[in-house]
Structure 1
């Protein structure tokens, strides 16, 4: 379908979707979950085509991991649909109602945004998550995935549209722009006549392009240069366990830890142990002078020879890098103040953590770090709609307007005022 017609159809359908009752929406979501599982073999077959192209194009390992689907991941996507079905429907919720002196009753209630546009890269799970959240909130959604995942996206959207059609709902409730060219993406960003909000999800280049070019209002999701600060009172075993999880559990995700900040009072004792643990996972460490020197002292680690090729001096560029790979930067600081200043300078407003046994330091970190998600003694990998109880997420917003952090159902709604009168006129 031609782009303008596709967007126009979504706009027309959005009014119908916005008036669906909760039971119907939940029934469709549960059916969609079963359909995803039932079509596992077909979806994986198409996904393997995307993976083959990615390998031919030398796609980094972290991005291949994001792209890859298997039965377990498809079941997780289906579970996300089921969980969204179980969540309370925000549409129609009356948030307030007050009586004015003139007798008018003025309230505010949640309503759909209308048409949500998604521009994203090699993440076919986003296709299902976006549909689930948009459909539950009465929004039509137009998906513009990248060429890297086009085969996966086509088959997934086809499965979802078949479920919609079986329930008497127009297929245009979820649409996929199959032309993956930049020209079409640029044209889509200008469809403000039909699309109410645009959400980019991907790397820094994609997000910057959408923010700079779109005439549609944008909810900006961000890249993840996520930090963990190891305070002088930190429990070493806890810190290492959390860092390994945050860095290596999945390297290609935006909530993975990319940067460490370590108090200088513990760097000599802690860094050798940490280096030994990271090197078991073949993580390259880019460290400042103090951390580098401490990592090379093996007495405290007692874990064999140091892999010199996995240690390197950090440059200024490393403090702000989102590696999406088995790499991490390490910065030594002399105080909590310096740690907070360093993190606030180089972070991307995504997720930051402190490992500490000091309550006062924990509270200061929570209060003074400028990010969507701030953790005490926990991995940054929990910044995720599924883990936050949203069933799924449409992205993690790093901006400060309307929505911030993992965006679930409420983030995909707007409000309108409802006013009850009994004949009032303004004098």
Structure 2
């Protein structure tokens, strides 16, 4: 059977564009459809604009520290419209790079929605039907907002970058890393931030690291309330009135919901094609990113495996090499390092202490201290370095860092952990002094055993 294309990719985010470009490089005839903007969640409404906002939000603290070091400095007022204009221009630049990369690779790009209409067929929004030997679904996820009276009045993380003005008072609902990151960002930009969640913040992360981050967020001015559930939001003349299940009421200028994300498969036609979906709408795939329909694959957040941009990129690359590059390799989801851009920053790889306690046969090494830079400036900020070590093999099974630039540190540590480095190999590495990171190679005695 003759097909219009060898591969049709639905979704122009990180995983989709990598798969399309590499597949085309292997000689495949490739097309890609994106209904919004090239670059997906990460580039357009996620990692990139968020990190730029992180940089902006840390300026006041840096200036305060500068005064402690002898500088005469004043932050002045934050110019949100000016910043947003530069942010929009930067996203336009990045989107153009993504689009140019596809064009240079020979990928045909359709700027419209595509749905699956069969194992070897997609339908564009304009009604055009296209046949293809393989389909790759890479449509990512979308923010989830529960149904309740007034839920239509809230923002999500998709909206925050498009605000005309910053609110004076904002309520952030959620306790995951996205909610905590935006709480820190907006607090740093001068917004009065309150955060509600039905359970403790940053669940699933190492408990000791999580507690330090939450304590520091509160010390920095974020008003955190847990075990709170919103039952209604009402728009008044001047604000949003929020009512909770415990009877509390409060008023805010804006409410941001960051209560998780859901795979973006609704209305995509996958069920019609016979593709198996999970309870949350995620595309069920095997280690090769292949669905139960042999011609249809999926990568990235839509599969709800590890919802991180670098993971989606690696999944897309592995798919292309396997299907078109004669280099079959599954996606590797073991020991993936990640960072949470709260203030303080958090880097993590491997198992948590809670998981170590459940498994047993582990040692925990911890160093928590006021770093030289903060101490001299009179700040009470602390950092945390933690290693989880297998007592039998001596391999480092996990590392958790709460510190400035923790993301940069965990990238390097992640290499050693991925290689199976032992605690003794960490110890044999000479310290770089004076740094925070030297603590990772100077912790001699475990503080807890399991």
- In the superposition, the TM-score normalised over structure 1's length comes to 0.24
Q: Specify which structure has the bigger relative contact order, considering alpha-carbon pairs within 8 angstroms and separated by 6 or more residues.
A: 1
Give the strand-richer structure, 1 or 2. Answer: 2
- In the superposition, the TM-score normalised over structure 2's length comes to 0.23
